Structure 1
Amino acid sequence: METETDMAEKITTSSHPRRTRRTPLYARIIAAVLGVVLVAVLGFIIWAETPLGPAPDAIAALESGNSVTVARTAAGWEFAPDADGQVGIVFYPGGRVDARSYAPLARALAEQGYLVVITPVTLNLAVMSPNVGDRARDAHPEIKRWGIIGHSLGGAMAATHAAARPGEYAALVFLAAYPPDGTDLREAVGKVASVYGDRDPGLKMENVNSTKSLLPTDSVFTQIKGANHAQWGSYGPQPGDMSATIGPAEQLSYAIDAVRDVLGPAK
């Protein structure tokens, strides 16, 4: 038989139902914001880690032979001439382009006698690894004279890297690129060459012209008729680019000429 106390407890319980504890509004807002940020970060990483290239001819250029030895080392993709060279080149790849895509140009330079190191970068973006060139030079203390090349975003970061190491690079070659604002290279590098195509809508000529004051006064600027943006590498068509009206080999020959002009012979 229920006592008066039991009945009172039932009445009290039914009159005051237990409330469910809810997550505070600010906590839900924070969780939502973090979720959006996480999705954005993951999306960026997936985008960056799906780079353009390399095309089949770039893969073929990674094979040793014909006086060039190719090796993947901690410093990057190395293209070494059979005869010991005295001049090295660090190569910074373009943004979201597989570093191997520049193998045809690197190999052609190695055939000229230069040691060339293409430096892979974090998330395929040179801005994430601006000083990766140090690895190449540290790996080859026997090389006393260095040049540096960069394509597109890689060119901007090559400039940033060289400016922070005055006197360590004898020459800098921009391929469809220019230095970031405030990157003073006038005393940092010996010579500079800038090579670009007339069918490259992604390269803003006003930026090329406005940053000339950051470069040595004897810098050489060469516009190549029929050259586009993507053919400095070998990774297929690039969104927003124009079709080149010259072949890849001809376009790359202008880059090789620019290197020889500012860096000098390999021996």
Structure 2
Amino acid sequence: MTPSRRRRRVLAWVFGILGALVIVVVVGLVVWSQVGVMAAEPEPLAAARADERVTITDDSAAIIIEPSSGSREVGLVYIPGAKVDPWAYAAKLVDVAADDDITVVITKPWLNLAFFDLRPLDAFTSLAPDVSTWIVGGHSLGGVRACTLAADADALALFASYCANEITDRPVLSLSGSNDGLTTPDDVAGARDLLPADAEFIQIDGAAHSSFGDYGLQDGDGDPAISDADMTAALTAGLAELADSLR
């Protein structure tokens, strides 16, 4: 066998192994992303779907919750936390749509992980074309992803989350929980310098990480000490104030 043929055989063997490894990694990632997804609790979800104050549309890219009042002025693109069913946030956000006339678009991240979803913000805002002003926000790692999209929105809302990049030139609302064991009060305070000086911080007394959705308790989280009704009211009030400032 000539040296050149031997080199070609070695290269083919090396590239074959690398290709096989890539396939194994990709398949493993896809399988992992589907295992352990935290499902929406059935009772709150059923109540949200039955709420006549809103219209809910199930699109392949997102869940759109629109106020039955017909208002289309302000919208919220909401990015779920890692491996949390997007429907788990519907019940917590129905009052935001119904009471505050905010169109809510809950994204369906690729592989159930926001950081694997490379779609731009307009992939979701285009689902509600009549809305003129947009807030982008998200829960947990979904909020970290929202920070990277904030330049294309009019405001940013963080839900038990914080930014890893600097935000300087738009309104920011941070809603966090005093009992959160995953995004702790210290975590929120530690990233404070990345946000504008006039960013509004609201710590919800008794709220844990899982209080921001309806998907059960999470490992490592603190114990929630707030009712679902009070949690929903706190989220609704905070977002209403932000939305009103943009109108």
Q: Which runs of 5+ in 2 are unaligned?
A: 1-8
Task: Name the structure 2 match of 1:16.
Answer: none
> Which of residues 112, 121, 125 is equivalent to 1:133?
121
- Give the secondary-structure state (helix, strand or coil) at the position aligned to 1:63: helix
- Give the secondary-structure state (helix, strand or coil) at the position aligned to 2:87: helix
| C-alpha spacing 1:205/1:131, structure 2 compared with 1 (3 Å) | farther
> Which of residues 129, 145, 156 is equivalent to 1:157?
145
**8 Å CA contact 1:58, 1:102 repeated in 2:** no
Task: Name the structure 1 match of 2:29.
Answer: 44
Within-5 A mapping of 1:60-209: 60-85=46-71, 86-112=73-99, 113-163=101-151, 165=152, 168-169=153-154, 171-180=155-164, 183-187=165-169, 189=170, 191-209=171-189
| C-alpha spacing 1:87/1:222, structure 2 compared with 1 (3 Å) | same
Shift of residue 25, structure 1, vs aligned partner: 8.6
**8 Å CA contact 2:173, 2:201 repeated in 1:** yes
Q: How many residues align?
A: 236
Letter in 1 for 2:45: I
Letter in 1 for 2:70: D
Q: Deviations over 1:107-131 (max 9, x none)?
A: 1211112111111110011111254
Q: Deviations over 1:141-174 (max 9, x none)?
A: 32111112210011011111113x2xx32x2211
Q: Which runs of 5+ in 1 are unaligned?
A: 1-23
Task: Name the structure 2 match of 1:15.
Answer: none
> Which of residues 252, 258, 261 is equivalent to 2:232?
252
1:264 aligns with 2:244: yes
Task: Name the structure 1 match of 2:4.
Answer: none
Task: Name the structure 1 match of 2:5.
Answer: none
Shift of residue 44, structure 1, vs aligned partner: 2.5
Letter in 2 for 1:70: I
Shift of residue 94, structure 1, vs aligned partner: 0.5
| C-alpha spacing 1:175/1:106, structure 2 compared with 1 (3 Å) | same
TM-score (norm 1): 0.79
The CA distance in 2 between the partners of 1:265 and 1:60, in whole Å, is 32
The CA distance in 1 between the partners of 2:118 and 2:232, in whole Å, is 24
TM-score (norm 2): 0.84
Shift of residue 186, structure 1, vs aligned partner: 1.1
Q: Which has the larger radius of gyration?
A: 1
**8 Å CA contact 1:90, 1:148 repeated in 2:** yes
Across the aligned residues of Structure 1 and Structure 2, the Cα RMSD in angstroms comes to 2.5
